[in-house]
Structure 1
Amino acid sequence: MKRLSALLLLFCTAINLLSAQPIHQVKGTVIDKNSRGPLEFINVMITGLNLGAVTDAEGHFTIEKVPPGIYRLQATAIGYKSVTTPEYILSTKNLNISIEMEENLTELDGVTVTTSPFRRDVESPVSLRIIGLQEIEKSPGANRDISRIVQSYPGVSFSPIGYRNDLIVRGGSPSENRFYLDGVEIPNINHFSTQGASGGPVGILNADLIREVNFYTGAFPADKGNALSSVLDFKLRDGDMERNSVKATLGASEVSLASNGHLGKKTSYLVSVRQSYLQFLFDMLGLPFLPTFTDAQFKIKTRFNAQNELIVLGLGGIDKMKLNTKADNEDNEYILSYLPKIEQSTFTLGTVYRHYAGAHIQSVVVSHSYMNNRNTKYLQNDESNPDNLMLRLRSTEQETKLRFENSSSFGNWRIKLGVNLDYSQYTNTTFQQVYIDRAQTFDYHTYLGIMRWGIFGTFNYTSTDDHFTASLGLRTDANNYSSAMKDLSNQLSPRLSLSYQLTDHWALSGNAGLYYQLPPYTALGFKNSNGQFANKYTLQHMKVSQQSLGITWRKGDTFEASLEGFYKNYDKIPLSIVDNIPLACKGNDYGVIGNELLTSTAQGRSYGAELLIKWLIAQKLNLASSLTLFKSEYRNSKESEYIASAWDNRFIFNLRGTYYFPHQWSFGMKVSCIGGTPYTSYDADKSSLVTAWNAQGKPYYDYNQYNKERLPAFTQVDIRIDKTFYLKRCMLGFYIDLQNITASKLKQADVLMSTGKIANPEAPVNEQRYIMKAIKQESGTLLPTLGITFEY
């Protein structure tokens, strides 16, 4: 690292002497959101710069002599609601954007209107975080991976154990999240995702294509169903309609090539391809698994005319995870004993058609998603003997979705109504050795086809002075899996949001809602030894009621502090018959969850408070700090007592900031601290049985002592240094990212491990036991990364 840093500094100095920072134009068009016509005499300013322009009769504006950087634009005019745009990157070429404004018929002449980057949403006035380009591009320790970026927000836990991106929000499980890409639902956002959950070691989305992210930790919009803990709504950039460009990035785990531009006068495009070298990094670190991945992403947008547009987008990935049997030291011996080889392929194709008809906007969304998951495991990783086979899983999930929406504006009211129709296919051919009360073998084939349908609507009201907003939403979903899930009235999901501007600085907001989620396909398609769907008559939609109340204080457009309390009450959560713990307490490891006998009797609750402080100074500082205090608990039934869930960290603290120096230098730091997670001691007697150990290759927990122990708290510090050079027609950027710069170690409970030697070989097979040993477990290491970006 010292040599790399010295070489980088020398190279930067040489280029700095030879280059001069270019300047560009920021151009664009301002249109009326309803009529789609151009707007004249609109003031457009660049936040943080004393630069601006006024639109002409065709709605065009041009701002001259703008240096490269990341900017927001503000558009204001009497008679229209002021607009603050998302962030845009001005790099190697002129920036051309489109701004939509809504008419404000009640605004009085001479009223001075200020805009703010801290936007408020009528439907979700609480529990919504908007993530812009500065955070995506510069967040320390995240390496432009969205799953890691959101881990610095209130209510989001991070796992210091292993290299995973599990999204754990407000005490919920990793399986309770949903993801959207320009309105198209995608099944997961990580490579090597756990089937039935959402985590993995690295994100599948290329940050070069993302404009901003709406991250909902509650108060979910009615058009986005089937979520209990969070919704991530990604907004992609549009291709440049004036010039084509290419961008290459060498990141922490992959090399990527992206391009954006136009195809003719009406069509723009975005495309990217990435290839990982993560296996080399993991091999150098001596990790027991070697993952490789390839992914591709594209977006094509055609504007037929002012009233009609079509978006076609796609996302796909190919993953392979091999076992690094060379890393057979004691630290890795345990993971190698149970972790399977994993091969996954996934893709989503979708189209979004929008028709603008004055105050009415119609949208039709059609998509198809596919995932193929193949897991294989042999005892002691010896594939030479077929009798050593412990697991062979071949599974596919496919979803075809159709959604229609109509959004209409009537003065202070906005009404959105819609329907959705989905068809899901799930196949699974599984051979698996298990040990319950004796050694057993699951050997079955599943085919499951499910038709799903839903109806949703939202009524939004905004007062004339914008001080009061209200939103009433309702959706309901059903499917033909079973009679319990077929009735729409069983899944009625109402939600109400209210917000009031108490003073110029203070606002009070709240939300209450009831939300449902379908259990994973792995659970719905699980078959028993008789070849029947084992969970068909015991599973129902999972349910959570959520309440949030928050107060916000804002100072101008640079500072915001908010305090928000939340309460989540879970019901009808699938309970594992074998382990006697909720399925919601699983899902943060590789493999599959849900493929077991379950019943919908578990309940849970999670409650706490979140403090968030954000300080933004355009072109200078982006600082955010959050503190979450909470409890997450579950019980097996109404008669049971609550116990700590697997996600009950109790507290999460984050302090993250990036400071921008002159000459395109920036420095960022993140401090993260999280409370210790509960853990369960091992059942040494059961784990030592030869037949039990050989079934899964790892020890068994003593579920009578479930989560009665707790790990210590963990603190991690990450830093990042960026330097960017803007030459005549290209950009060259470097960054150094140091994760866990203090090399903090998280000590975990010793794990039980078989020595492979039988203590009583003379005993019957079912009574033979391995001699066991204890292996110390701790994680945490300094992980340096050098990133290079080139754009032309």
Structure 2
Amino acid sequence: MHKNKTYRAIINDKLKIFLFTFLIVGVQSLSQNFQTVRGQVTDKDTDSPLPGASVVLVQNGESIGVGTDEDGKFIFEKIPVGRQTFKVSFIGYKDAWLRDIEIVSGKQTVLNVQLIPDVYSMGTVEVKGTRRKSETVNEMISLSARTFSVEETSKYAGSWGDPARMAANFAGVTALSDKRNDIVVRGNSPLGVLWRMDGMEIPNPNHFSVAGSSGGAISMINNNLLSNSDFLSGAFPAEYGNATSAVFDLKMRQGNNEKFEFLGQAGVNGFEFGAEGPFKKGGASFLINYRYSTLTALEKIGITIIDAELDFQDLSFKLNFPVKKGNLSLFGIGGMSKANEFAEKDSVNWITRDDRLSSVSGAKMGVTGLTFSKMLSEKTNLRINIGYSANNPYFSKDSLGHDYQRFELTKLAMNEIKKSASIQINSKLNQKNKIRTGIIFRNIAVDNDAWYKIFSPEEKKITYSTVKGNLNLAEAFIQWKWYFSPSMTLNTGIHDQFLTLNNSNSIEPRASVTWNITPVHSLNLGVGMHSQMQPTAIYFSEFTDEAGNILYRNKNLDFTKSTHYIISYDHQISENIRFKSEIYLQKLYDIPLGTQNPYYSLINFGYDDDIFSHEIFVNKGKGENYGVEFTFERFFHKNYYYLITTSLYNSTFTDSYNYKRETRYNCNYAWNVLAGKEIKLSENNLLGFSATVVNIGGQRYTPIDIEESAGAGRTVYIDSLPFSEKYPDFFKIDIRIRFRNNNKKFSQEIALEMANILNKKNIENQYFDFETRQIKYYYLLGRIPVAFYRIEF
């Protein structure tokens, strides 16, 4: 249970006091304040600029319009702060409405609008910007996806500026723990989640991650740097590979290329400072943000909130250089996290074995990506990505002897270095046909140091993996989007991936059809095959034969595979209200099954499991997920919004005895309700309220064998009954209140949030207590007040 203790130390019961209170509300100006709004209008299919497009500010029944220049750019001077609506139109394209955009005094608003060609000239069809969530940033996506904005990651109570925590409000998505941001999508293990930034796969972008996981305690992704991004939950288009569960397709915005702007922020995610501006006005720009652990900063000034030593920091940046008919950009994300837990130094206070233990855990991650894009012709563009990343999650544990001598017990350190290159070409053959094709090559270097020690009958070091290995993953895809009638669109393609380590290959056809039954009713059908390589720690698990030779018995494991079938119905009930329902079936196969423990399937891997093991796997496992999801949403309008989601599902796997069992993540149902309201206090100030209610069916667990545990001196589970029991439902309510103040030279925001306001005791895990000889529980977070302050100037 070492990991649970580490992460429980991050935010525990002692955080029932405020982490800090930052109540600065600058001098309020009496007159109306203004800001500049500018941007660019482009063709969504080709990214080419649209000169002569009309951009209109619609305000109180009046309209103020401007036209775009030869580069598709436009500018409005002195737009009043507050919520504003814009309409963008161009001949031969569908109109785009960007409604209720929040204009603040401390930062220019930059709107990059992509117009969709009106293929059959059906007249005006409103595309409501972030309002129509069915319109994704990636135009090749047809279903099981949602666009999210920076504002959503901030305004949803309980999101804490974290894209993964925000996504847990969507239909089909549940959270494993409120201490971490690992997510379960449609009953799949978090192992199947893919993270991308600006078109490039990135390592787990979270602090306090563990080897093999896709989440962590705190996100390294700084939401202040994001642009609108996509979240996909199934039947991905052909360009997305090496994922079976979900995809975060994130976009980092460009820095302001007209003026310098700065940001200061403090909250649960740390103290941070950001800056952006032009290298040359109207040309190249930079964007940078640094964040440092709130808890560590408070420790340095003598304020101690928890017993463990915690430290994390991260840096994100983007440099952007326009070139002739193209663009060159460089992004980077780097972070370090570390948690120390110390043994009790006085042996008089040693009650259990755990009192003697100390541990160090954390992670180091860095990624950088260079992107070059260029218009090869009016209808074709080229995109080249070159990337480099390093990921090093680690954990070590030792114990004090009776003479206070330190004994090393365990070390689990994974180090992966990835080098990648990709080429993508987008071609608009004509108004009705678009093709996207590309290749991706990724080299992965592995340097693990994972082992443990036993001390009876003699001290011996048992190695999990100390290998320095190397492998390559190559991917290729082609997608075709065809508007074959005024109401129907076909999106089809094929993806192929090949692993050089063992010559595993997977050819994956994918297709979806969209039928716009009426302007407000649509039906989508989708099917796709998907696959994912195993964690490198599995491939390079070391085994020693009788002659002392080192063997890699998992080296020839094939990909885990999954076929998705989806039917989606979307009804735009009114301009601001939408209903959506999806029915899905997922058939999983070639899942690694244990041979030593025939009940162990990698489909059930979680963040509290060790990816390093001596289990020998075979690709004989199967799984099945099916369910139905409902989304009822009012987009922000007239100062309020709400989102109601319900998911009913079943998730099972087949063990080595061909017996169908519940997966760890088969919670069966989940529902979320979130809502928000804004009150305009004056021309320059507003007050906002939001609340989130979450109910998730209880997590599955394997029961403890009490008699065996008492005899063994440790917690022993009944392996033959995997995930046969279920905890009570997870339930919590989060509330948030924020105040926004727009001064002439700067804007600021203060927010107070109460997580789990009812102080519900949700079970995280169980263990055997050796003193009482009873089963006891670890609990998730109780009631926690959180404060937040941001200033922009």
TM-score range, shorter chain: 0.7 to 0.9
Task: Give yes or no for the alignment of 1:54 onto 2:54.
Answer: no
Question: How far did 1:63 drift?
Answer: 3.7
Range that drifts further, 582-591 or 248-257: 582-591
Query: Is 2:658 aligned against 1:658?
Result: no
Provide, for residues 484-520 of structure 1, a one-character-per-residue CA deviation record: whole Å limited to 9, x for no partner: x1xx4xx111111111011222110021011000000
**Distance in 1 between residues matched to 2:144 and 2:258, nearest whole Å:** 38
Map of 1:35-74 to 2, 5 A cutoff?
36-40=48-52, 42-45=54-57, 51-55=63-67, 58=70, 59-63=72-76, 65-69=78-82, 73-74=86-87
Match of 2:158 among 129, 136, 141: 141
Shift of 1:436: 14
| 2:789 is equivalent to residue 788 of structure 1 | yes
* AA at the equivalent of 1:567: L
CA–CA distance in 2 between the matches of 1:29 and 1:591?
A: 48
Residue type at the aligned position of 2:327? E
For 1:191, give the aligned amino acid.
H
Which AA in structure 2 matches 1:26?
V
Instruction: Name 1:759's counterpart in structure 2.
Output: none
> What pairs up with 1:280-359 in 2 under 5 angstroms?
289-305=308-324, 307-323=325-341, 340-357=359-376, 358-359=378-379
Letter in 2 for 1:141: G
Q: Spell out the pairing of 1:287-686 with structure 2 (5 A cutoff).
A: 289-305=308-324, 307-323=325-341, 340-357=359-376, 358-379=378-399, 384-386=404-406, 388-411=407-430, 412-433=432-453, 441-443=461-463, 444-463=465-484, 465=486, 467-483=487-503, 485=504, 488=505, 491-530=506-545, 531-536=549-554, 538-579=556-597, 580-589=599-608, 592=611, 596-618=615-637, 620-637=639-656, 640-663=658-681, 664-686=686-708
The Cα of 1:625 is off from its aligned counterpart by 0.8
Shift of residue 619 of structure 1? 5.5
**Partner letter of residue 109 of structure 2?**
L
Q: Structure 2, unaligned stretches of length 5 or more?
A: 1-14
* 1:502 aligned counterpart, secondary structure: strand
**1:437: Cα distance to partner?**
15
SS at 2:467 equivalent: strand
Q: Is the 8 A contact 2:144 2:234 kept in 1?
A: yes
Q: Aligned partner of 1:782: which letter?
A: R
Which region of structure 1 is more displaced relative to structure 2, 45-54 or 234-243? 45-54
CA RMSD across the alignment = 3.4
- The answer (yes or no) to whether the contact 1:482–1:536 under 8 Å persists in 2 is no
Change (3 A) 1:584 1:595: farther
- Unaligned residue ranges in structure 1 (runs of 5+): 756-770
Deviation at 1:451, TM superposition (A): 1.8
Residue-by-residue CA offset, 1:694-742 (whole Å, 9 max, x unaligned): xxxx513111122221111121000000101111111121000110011
Residues 226 and 591 of structure 1: CA distance in aligned 2, closer, same or farther (over 3 Å): same
The residue type equivalent to 2:37 in the other structure is V
CA positional deviation for 1:635: 1.2
Whole-Å Cα distance in 2 between the matches of residues 6 and 35 of structure 1? 45
What residue number does 1:249 align with? 265
Q: Note if contact 2:674-2:690 (Cα within 8 Å) is conserved in structure 1.
A: yes
Using the TM superposition, give the Cα deviation of residue 532 of structure 1 relative to its aligned residue in structure 2, in angstroms: 3.2
State the identity as a percent.
Answer: 20
SS at match of 1:141: coil
Deviation at 1:79, TM superposition (A): 1.8
1:238 to 230, 236, 254: 254
Amino acid at match of 1:234: L
Q: Which residue of 2 aligns with 1:24?
A: 35
Q: How many residues align?
A: 755
In structure 2, the partner of 1:763 is none
Corresponding residue for residue 767 of structure 1: none
Distance of 2:181 and 2:78 partners within structure 1: 41
Partners of 2:249 and 2:542 in 1: how far apart? 34
Q: Secondary structure at the match of 1:126?
A: coil
What secondary structure, in the 3-state scheme, does the structure 2 residue paired with 1:557 have?
Answer: coil
Q: Deviations over 1:34-60 (max 9, x none)?
A: 584542252434699855413156455
Map of 2:121 onto structure 1: 107
* One-letter identity of the residue aligned with 1:130: T
Superposed displacement of residue 445, structure 1 = 1.9
Amino acid at match of 1:202: I
Residue 126 of structure 1, aligned match among 143, 165, 174: 143
The 3 A distance-change label for structure 1 pair 750 and 284 is farther
- Render the CA deviation track for 1:391-431: whole Å, top value 9, x for unaligned: 02333101111111111002201101111111111111222
**1:94 offset after TM fit, Å?**
3.7
Pick the aligned partner of 1:95 from 93, 103, 109: 109
Distance 2:156 2:345 in 1: 32
Query: How far apart, in 2, do the equivalents of 1:274 and 1:656 lie?
Result: 28
Distance 2:344 2:82 in 1: 46
- Larger mean CA deviation between 118-127 and 738-747 belongs to 118-127
CA distance in 2, matches of 1:346, 1:481: 24
Secondary structure, counterpart of 1:523 in structure 2: helix
C-alpha deviation, 1:96, in angstroms: 4.0
Distance 2:18 2:306 in 1: 24
Pairwise CA distance, 1:438: 13
Q: Which residue in 1 is equivalent to 2:88?
A: 75
Q: 1:737 to 1:32 in 2, by over 3 A?
A: same
Q: Normalised by the size of structure 1, how large is the TM-score? A: 0.88
The correspondence for 1:180, drawn from 196, 200, 206, is: 196
Aligned to 2:11: none
Deviates more, 1:69-78 or 1:639-648: 69-78
